[in-house]
Amino acid sequence: DIVMTQTPLSLSVTPGQPASISCKSSQSLLHSDGKTYLYWYLQKPGQSPQLLIYEVSRRFSGAPDRFSGSGSETDFTLEISRVEAEDVGFYYCMQGIRLPRTFGPGTRVDIK
């Protein structure tokens, strides 16, 4: 199984400041079709997960443009350019190249 790790596991951010979360996979997520199947989800308190980023860096419809993703193969980063109060919650990366699907442990983001 592909193991997904995230750092940090917790982040406290001042509104308006940037934030960054790292996700690493134990195997390359680059598919033979040329796509890299790494997703970022945000789970706000009491809500279902919502997709922010797919295929490493493609922002999903409705995701604010302060969210961006980067990386390749096994190392990935989610960046929030200016954190807002509504960004609090747990952020998860997930690999979509292989079954079983696996998620990172989650990064808790709260506001200072």
**Which residues are at the interface with other proteins (CB under 8 A)?**
1, 39, 41, 43, 48-51, 54, 60, 90, 92, 94, 96, 99-106
Residue with smaller CB distance to other proteins, 14 or 110: 110
CB of 109 vs other proteins, minimal distance in Å: 14
Quick one: three-class SS letters along 3-36?
CEEEECCEEEECCCCCEEEEEEECCCCECCCCCE
| Nearest approach, Cβ of residue 67 and other proteins (Å) | 14
Quick one: 58 or 82, whose CB is closer to other proteins?
58
Tokens read off for 79: 């960046």
CB of 103 to other proteins, least distance (A): 5
Task: State residue 69 phi and psi, 5-degree precision.
Answer: -125, 150
Phi, psi of 17 (to 5 degrees): -90, 160
